[in-house]
Amino acid sequence: MARYISISLDKRGVSCRARLLTEEAPRTCRAVWDALPQGDQAYHAKYARNEVYTLVPPFADPEPGRENPTVTPIPGDVVYFAFEPWEIGNPAYGYEEGSQAHSATGATDLAIFYGRNNLLINGDAGWVPGNVFATITDGLDEMAAACHDLWFRGVEGETLTFRRKES
């Protein structure tokens, strides 16, 4: 039986529904499902292009490792990244002091991709593969419009939240 999650931009009042890819990414799906709800400050990617994400404290024990990885996510992909503290705390990235990016424990990045032509590469670290663990099945157009609005109007005060959804 398929499992679904709800992903919301809370301030903008927009949400979408995504189906977990339990066959393709079973360890990642289990880790995320067991840790829901998760959410915090929303960010719009600088480098990856059409990505909105949140950084939360690491929750997977053990980390799922690579499964169903990509460096070229497509619209509707929901992706999990695990970052060590040294990987995202660079001041050039612009994260405020005290944010999860500067935590001694590192961060889990939960991301959605809402448009085409994304490339997961970082000038400091090179390729940044992520685990595709879900696909947006409903509400992508509305979410994409809200994500585009984040790019133009800013993310201040916006949160991205992932919750369990009853089918």
Per-residue pLDDT averaged across 26-45, rounded?
A: 97
Backbone angles phi, psi at 97, to 5 degrees: -60, 140
Lowest mean pLDDT among 78-82, 88-92, 120-124, 126-130: 88-92
Lowest mean pLDDT among 19-33, 90-104, 111-125: 90-104
Q: What does the pLDDT read at residue 75?
A: 98
- Which DSSP category does 60 fall into? -
Q: What does the pLDDT read at residue 167?
A: 64
CA distance 99 to 101: 5
CA distance 147 to 164: 21
Q: Average model confidence (pLDDT) for the chain?
A: 95
Q: What does the pLDDT read at residue 70?
A: 98
Per-residue pLDDT averaged across 34-41, rounded?
A: 98
Q: What does the pLDDT read at residue 46?
A: 85
Instruction: Specify the CATH architecture of the domain 37-153.
Output: Beta Barrel (2.40)
Side-chain-facing half-sphere of 146: CA atoms under 13 Å: 24
pLDDT over threshold 80, residue 136: yes
For residues 136 and 17, the answer to whether their CB atoms sit within 8 Å is: yes
pLDDT over threshold 90, residue 54: yes
Q: What does the pLDDT read at residue 96?
A: 86
